[in-house]
Structure formats: C-alpha cells, structure tokens
Amino acid sequence: MAKKQQFDVQTLLKHHVALTSTITVFEAGTPGRPMLPDSVLDLMSLQARSNYLRNYGRNAQSTSQDGIKVLQHCMAFEKAYFDAGGLLVDGTDPTGNGGVVPGYSNAREVELLLEAGLSLPDAIKVSTLNGAKYLGIDKERGSIAAGKYADLTILDGDLTADPKALHKVLWVFKDGLGYDSAKLTESVKGDVGIR
C-alpha cells in the first residue's frame, strides 16, 4: 500500500471514522465498465434513462485513464481500510451520471466489493451488519440471530456459487410482511429518477 494511502487509513482508524463505500458512484463514471442492464433501464423515467445513456456514451468514448485510476484507487483504499479493521459500510447514493439506481446498485455494490478483494461473507457484512453497527442498532438488526428483527431477501440461486444471484430477488420480507419482488419492480417501471 502506498505510504499516503497507509497514512490516510491509519488516520481514519485513529479517529474511529466509519467509511461509506461508494464504489458504484465511481464505477458509473468510469470508461469500460458495464452498462446498466435493460431490466434496470426500464425502471428509469425517460429523462433519467436518456441522461444516463448520454453520460454512459460520453464516458465510453473517453480515452482518459483518470476514471479507471480513481475507481482502482477507491477499491484498493476501501479494501485496505476494511482489512485494517475499519468500519466500512455500504452507501449507494443515487448520484453521478445517473447509473446508481436504488435496489440494483445495492447488489452491484456487493459485486464491486468482491472485485476489490473482499470475501463474499465480508462484502455481505459491509452491506448489512456494518450499517447496523454504525447506527448502533446491531444488537437488534443487521444479521440473522435469535431475538433480532429480521428483514430478509429471498434470492433465486446460490449466492456462494454465483454472486449475480443478488440480482435475482424473489421475495423481500420487511416487518413480517412478504413482498413479491416482481410486482414491486413492475410498480415502479418508468418512475426511477422522477422527483
């Protein structure tokens, strides 16, 4: 790890600063990264979709290596911070070029944490338990254990065999109620990006 990066990690740890991973935001503006799938583009309003596609096309034509270097630095920094014992939490803010879409980007964040070098259990922990720890509610939420509130996502597939199973949500259970993911998705088609 570069000396400056090591200094930055140690400074954050010394001051007990939690770090929010926003790799999805940086990926959205990086040339050579995958475009949002059609199933996600279909959720976007016409204006949001048009803006995203225009920005994606502009990034795809860029010959600058700056975006790639920034994404690589982010990934390396977040992994170093996590490995050093820092509290890394998941934060997929819908910012940047419009490529950060609620729901899809939460699963994409886990994939990017895996790409950065975290193990699957650690990437899931960053996206669940660590947020609860940061909020001080980890004794009640954030993981599955007897006596805890359990909001669950039921996937179609084996996450340990294929991390893309994160994008195959069948059911979401929240506050004891089950929600059909396909019906929820259908109910917001064309609305993502409308304020």
DSSP 3-state assignment of 57? helix
Q: Is residue 189 part of a domain?
A: no
- Share of residues in the chain with pLDDT > 70 (%): 95
Say yes or no to pLDDT of 166 above 90: yes
Q: Is residue 31 part of a domain?
A: yes
Q: Is residue 159 part of a domain?
A: no
Say yes or no to pLDDT of 93 above 80: no
Q: Given this model, what pLDDT does residue 96 score?
A: 63
C-alpha span between 43 and 165 (Å, rounded): 19
Give me the number of domains the chain comprises.
1
Average pLDDT over residues 40-61: 92
Say yes or no to pLDDT of 7 above 80: no
Q: Is residue 36 part of a domain?
A: yes
Pairing relationship of beta strands 19-21 and 88-90 according to DSSP bridges? parallel
Pairing relationship of beta strands 152-155 and 19-21 according to DSSP bridges? unpaired
DSSP 3-state assignment of 24? helix
Q: How is residue 52 written in tokens? A: 């995203």
Q: Is residue 170 part of a domain?
A: no
Say yes or no to pLDDT of 144 above 80: yes
Q: Is residue 116 part of a domain?
A: yes
Average pLDDT, the chain: 90
Q: Given this model, what pLDDT does residue 121 score?
A: 96
Q: Domain limits at 8?
A: 3-138
Q: How is residue 21 written in tokens? A: 């991973």
Say yes or no to pLDDT of 1 above 60: no
Q: Is residue 160 part of a domain?
A: no
